Amino acid sequence: MRVALKYIIIILILFLITESSAYSYWVWTPQTKKWVNPKYAPKDTPKEQLIYAMDFFEAGDYKKALAEFNKIIKYYKKSEAASEAQYYIGRSYEELSNPYHAFESYQEVVDNYPFTQRTDEIIKRQFDIGEKLFQGEKTKFMGVKFKALPEQITEVYKKVVSNAPYSKYAPTAQFRIGELLKRVEYYEEARDAFQKIVDDYPDSELAAEAKFQVALCASVASGKSGYDQQLATQAMREFEEFAKEHPESEWVKKAKEEKTKLIEKRADSYFKIAKFYQRIGKYEAAYIYYNKILDEFPTASSAPKALEKLKVVEKRLERQRK
């Protein structure tokens, strides 16, 4: 019994010593007007804290560097050192294979420290992050690696364009936005994204391909839900314009092929309508649609069949008139 009591007393003493040490370790700081534990407190000045954090970064201890840079943002957010700290938070995330968090950290620099001297470098780093994520490089969330969602990658490229619309990276970033929208089958939105290149960056090397993609997206969109005649007509016109404006382009052959497909779709649509009217005895309406095929799409594969059907319909109409 005495032995047990002896151990209990020893444990209580150790507990009180520990608690006393812990409480005595908290001190009042005039800068923050809070009680802080020196173990987690920043250095006396933001410059000292930045130098301290940089030592860890340069030594390759990026997790520790991240923690120390974040102290500057927490305690000295309005200091000159804060801009550099936020930038190096992004750099640390990149080194820790977390590109999307790095992108977000760089954007914090752009949003909160507009007078930073690192804007050009940040735009390049954001663009490079977008390219890596676009190619399938993984990022992290809560320590788990995963491929970035198309929406996340799109956000990266959108910020590149909005942060520096006249930079050398903007046209490619805008083109990637179109490609990502195509990837998730948002063809009308993708068409608008490609059109922005044609409108805003007409001298870009990507302008010709963007013009082709505008027509292609309209073409695909026209057949996604039934058949959108307006989009199909628009796509045909844009394929034709593309071929005229860029006769030397490698995409001309593809543009002509896509236009032919649209002609076939449109003629086939008219043919089905005409057959329907013919079947229910509306010969005048059938006559109009068979003629539309012959007048508007004489090269379509359904044109010869339309001509044969038209002759039958004409005979029916003659009988009705007698």
Residue 127 has pLDDT above 80, yes or no: yes
DSSP sequence for 50-119: HHHHHHHHHTT-HHHHHHHHHHHHHH-TTSHHHHHHHHHHHHHHHHTT-HHHHHHHHHHHHHH-TT-TTH
Three-class SS of residue 30? coil
Cβ neighbours around 204 below 10 Å, total:
18
What is the structure's pLDDT at 31? 55
Q: Exposed, middle or buried, 160 (CB in 10 Å: 0-12/13-18/19+)? A: buried
Token pair belonging to 167: 């930079």
Q: Identify the band that residue 17 occupies on the pLDDT scale cut at 50, 70 and 90.
A: very low
- The model's pLDDT over 143-200, given as tens digits with 9 standing for 90+, comes to 778 788 999 999 999 999 999 999 999 999 999 999 999 999 999 999 999 999 999 9
Instruction: Provide DSSP, 192-251.
Output: HHHHHHHHH-TTSTTHHHHHHHHHHHHHHHHTTSS--HHHHHHHHHHHHHHHHH-TT-TT
Task: Residue 175: count other Cβ atoms within 10 Å of its Cβ.
Answer: 22
Buried b / exposed e over 4-14, threshold 16 CB at 10 Å, is eeeeeeeeeee
For the chain, the C-alpha Rg in angstroms (whole number) is 34
Whole-structure pTM value: 0.76
How far is 263 from 291, CA to CA, in rounded Å?
15
Among 152-161, 244-253, 293-302, whose mean pLDDT is lowest? Answer: 244-253
